[in-house]
Amino acid sequence: MSEALAASRLAFGYTTESIVQDLSLDVREGEWLGIVGPNGSGKSTVLRMLARLASPRSGEVQLDGHNLKRLSTKHIAQRMTMLAQVQEAALDITVRDLVRRGRHPHLKWYEECRGEQEDIVDWALQVTKMELLQHRSLLMLSGGERQRAWLAMAMAQTPKILLLDEPTTYLDIAHQLELMELIRQLNQDQGLTVVMVLHDLNQAARYCDRLIAVKQGAIVQEGTPSEIFQPSFFREVFGIEARIFDDNGVPVYMPSGISPLESGSAH
Ligand SMILES: Nc1ncnc2c1ncn2[C@@H]1O[C@H](COP(=O)(O)OP(=O)(O)OP(=O)(O)O)[C@@H](O)[C@H]1O
């Protein structure tokens, strides 16, 4: 399997203080990679660098073997899209118009979104279950509905690589599972490469092929969910004690308390 994205020796900081240091990772084509770690550890920053929304102080990201810095925005948008953690303030446009924006990278400047393009918009609305709300303004949606509208836009972009930052935050449990199942379907049927920051570690273990744990701007552990889910992982990365169970081959953890030694030092 070839690499869809490769980051080498990334460093980032807003001030002289480092937020990310010497971080390298590869994302294979068709893989579902989960990024986990405590609050403020640098997960969103890493994702933003992979999407070229943040420029590394040093190091580089390659998309399909090409330095991201040298690719056009349009080329990148045809290959990859990112659904950010907190969407910008709601716009007064309809859900359908938002989703149509997902087609822009695939249109010539003079082309309008119609015909086959509109079929893709219909498909994106359908798979995200937003058909009934498509004529509603974004201003008149709940947080979860708005989240799904942005996901529909990302789907309409028909990316090969989807980057998501805690996409389930505003969703109730049924919509969380629907979203994860939808992404699984796209991942398995269409080979969509997925990189996802997730706080729910049990969901991460259930869906991701591989996990990387980030702490203080560096990768501290990496492996399949079964390799990663050990009491020492929860203690060292999150500062908690946990028991691990097996649910038909999927590891599941149950927290039992704050680790005495790690207490207060997880962040
Ligand atoms: N605009 C900014 N200016 C200065 N520092 C920032 C800025 N944005 C983020 N940071 C800091 O960078 C660090 C990493 O933030 P980042 O959002 O990448 O963490 P995260 O692991 O995604 O956190 P969370 O799980 O809370 O979403 C944090 O310490 C945060 O306070």
Structure tokens at 108: 């010539």
Average pLDDT in the chain: 90
Among residues 260, 195, 176, the alpha carbon closest in space to that of 25 is found at 195
Q: Which atom in ligand 1 lies closest to the alpha carbon of residue 199? A: 25
Structure tokens at 12: 């980032």
Among residues 202, 205, 200, the alpha carbon closest in space to that of 167 is found at 200
Residue closest via CA to ligand 1's atom 17 equals 44
Residues having CB closer than 6 A to ligand 1 are: 14, 19, 37, 39-45
Where does the pLDDT of residue 108 fall: very low under 50, low under 70, confident under 90, or very high at 90 and above?
A: low
- Where does residue 232 rank: exposed (0-12), middle (13-18), buried (19+ CB within 10 A)? exposed
Distance, in Å, from the CA atom of 23 to the CA atom of 7, rounded to the nearest integer, reads 7
Where does the pLDDT of residue 174 fall: very low under 50, low under 70, confident under 90, or very high at 90 and above?
A: confident
Query: Tell me: the pLDDT tens digits for 41-69?
Result: 999 999 999 999 999 999 999 999 999 99
Write down all domains in the chain, each with its CATH number in brackets: 3-228 (3.40.50.300)
Query: Tell me: the pLDDT tens digits for 192-245?
Result: 999 999 999 999 999 999 999 999 999 999 999 999 999 999 999 999 999 999
Q: Enter the DSSP assignment of 29.
A: T
Type of residue numbered 250: V
Position with higher pLDDT, 71 vs 116? 71
Cβ atoms of residues 267 and 43 within 8 Å: no
For 103, half-sphere exposure in the C-beta direction (CA atoms, 13 angstrom radius) is 23
Question: Is residue 267 predicted with pLDDT exceeding 50?
Answer: no
Least confident of 25-29, 114-118, 189-193: 114-118
Residue closest via CA to ligand 1's atom 2 equals 14
Q: Which atom in ligand 1 lies closest to the alpha carbon of residue 166? A: 27
